Amino acid sequence: MKIIITENMGEFNKVAADIVSRQIKNKPDSVLGLATGSTPLGLYAMLIDMYKKGELDFSRVKTFNLDEYRGLPKDHPQSYYHFMYENLFNKINIKDENVNLLNGNRDESYRECADYEEKIKAAGGIDLQVLGIGHNGHIGFNEPGTPFDSVTDLIDLSERTIEANSRFFDSPDQVPRQALSMGIKTIMQSRNIVLLISGNSKARIAAKALNGPITQNVPASVLQLHPFVTVVLDKEAAVYL
Ligand code: GLP
C-alpha cells in the first residue's frame, strides 16, 4: 500500500486528481470505477476543471459506479445517478453509453447485479477504482461482515450507515434501507485502487483499515491484500496511523 498524507483538502484533491488524470492520459479508453459521497467531490471538481482547460478528454473513458440505493427514482436528488450527473458527468465530455450505474429500480435486483458483473467483464475490467470509506469501514455499500469473496449484490444497509447518510435526507425514515453494491471481490479485481479518506471522523476507521488486522468486520482492511492501492489521506484522517 502506498500511503500519501496531505496537508489540506486542496492538496488532497490535487493528489487524487493527478492519479486519475494520469490514468486517463496513459490510457484514453480507461475503465474507471467511481464513488459517491462527499469525499470525492473535490476530485471531481478538479477533473472538470482539467477538462475545461483542455487537459483531459473523457470521450473514450468508461465508468462503473460502485453502488446505488434501491428504490429511489433516478432523478431523486439523493440517487447516486443524480449525484454523478450533477457532480461530474454533465460537466465533462463522457458519452452516456459509456456511463454505467446500477439500476436500483429494476424488480429483479439479482439480475441487475449479475448483468453488472458481466458488463464490467465485457469492458475488460476496471483499470482504476476510486473508493471512499464509511465510518464503519464499508467500501461501496459492503457493510461489516460481508464476505471478501462477495460479488455485486443487494445489500441491507446497517443502522450506522442509515444514520450517517440521513444527513442528506429530510428525515432518517426517508433513507432507503437497501442498496445495490459492487462486491468486495469485484472491487479487489480492479487493477489499481485509490482510497480517499478525509476528516477527523474517519481517523479511527482509517487506522483500523490500514494498520489493523485484515477482517471482514472492517471491509476496507481487505485492501491490504491488493498489490496496487494508493491511500490518500488528509492530516486529520491520518492522526492515528
Ligand atoms: C456512502 C457510499 C460510499 C462512501 C461512503 C462515505 O455510504 N456508499 O461509497 O464511500 O458513503 O461517504 P463520505 O465520503 O460522504 O463520507
Instruction: Indicate which CATH number applies to the domain containing 154.
Output: 3.40.50.1360
182 C-beta closer than 6 A to ligand 1: no
68 found inside a domain: yes
What's the confidence (pLDDT) of residue 216?
Answer: 98
239 found inside a domain: no
The Cα 48–Cα 208 span in angstroms is: 33
Residue from 138, 153, 193 whose mutation best tests the ligand 1 pocket (most atoms within 8 A of CB): 138
68 C-beta closer than 6 A to ligand 1: no
Distance 138 CA to ligand 1 centre (A): 8
Greatest CA separation for the chain? 46
The residue among 236, 238, 76, 41 whose CA lies nearest residue 170 is 76
What's the confidence (pLDDT) of residue 161?
Answer: 86
Distance 76 CA to ligand 1 centre (A): 18
241 found inside a domain: no
13 C-beta closer than 6 A to ligand 1: no
Distance 143 CA to ligand 1 centre (A): 11
Q: How far is CA 115 from CA 5, 38, 110, 112, 139, in A?
A: 38, 28, 9, 5, 21
In angstroms, how far is CA 3 from the centroid of its own chain?
Answer: 18
142 C-beta closer than 6 A to ligand 1: no
Q: Examine the residue annotation and report whether 138 is marked as an active-site residue of this protein.
A: yes
- List the grid coordinates of 194: 485509490
Distance 132 CA to ligand 1 centre (A): 6
Distance 86 CA to ligand 1 centre (A): 17
129 C-beta closer than 6 A to ligand 1: no
Domain holding 196, by residue range, is: 2-234
Exposure string (b/e) for 193-218, b if CB count within 10 Å is 16 or more?
bbbbbbeeebbebbebbbebeeebeb
75 found inside a domain: yes
Give the type of residue at 139. Answer: I
Q: Which of 13, 65, 68, 138 is catalytic?
A: 138
What's the confidence (pLDDT) of residue 172?
Answer: 87
The Cα 94–Cα 98 span in angstroms is: 7
What's the confidence (pLDDT) of residue 209?
Answer: 98
As a residue count, the chain comes to: 241
Minimal-distance CA residue to ligand 1 atom 3? 140
Domain count of the fold of the chain? 1
161 C-beta closer than 6 A to ligand 1: yes
Residues of the chain with pLDDT under 70: none
CA geometry: angle at 114 spanning 143 and 193, to 5°? 55
Contacts of 177 (CB under 8 A, 6+ apart): 70, 156, 157, 162
Contacts of 25 (CB under 8 A, 6+ apart): 56
